[in-house]
Amino acid sequence: MDPDVINFAGVMAVIILSIGALGGIATALFRRIRTAPRPSALPDQRDYDQRFAQLQQSVDAIAVEVERIAEGQRFNTKLLADGERRPAMKEVR
């Protein structure tokens, strides 16, 4: 047999098997999506209010901590800038 015919048959077999496998995967995925349970009613509004209040408190606490870090950074920068202007020790002769 001609080697080109054997190669063509092999390529066609791979193509047909790939299409079959992808078709099976698509069918299984479609069935799973179709039979998936639908979400029930939304949770109570009070749950959202509690979570929002907790989130707001957390953000406020983070803002306070970030401000403290920024103040410390400004203080350190000021110390370093002042240290460059003054000599560390006086010269002894």
Whether the pTM exceeds 0.75: the reply is: no
Q: What is the pLDDT along the chain (93 residues), one digit of tens a residue?
A: 788 999 999 999 999 999 999 999 999 999 998 988 887 777 788 888 899 999 999 999 999 999 999 999 999 999 888 866 666 566 666
The predicted pLDDT at position 87 comes to 61
**Cα 84 to Cα 78: distance, rounded to the nearest angstrom:** 10
For tokens 């707001």, name the residue.
56
The predicted pLDDT at position 75 comes to 93
The predicted pLDDT at position 32 comes to 92
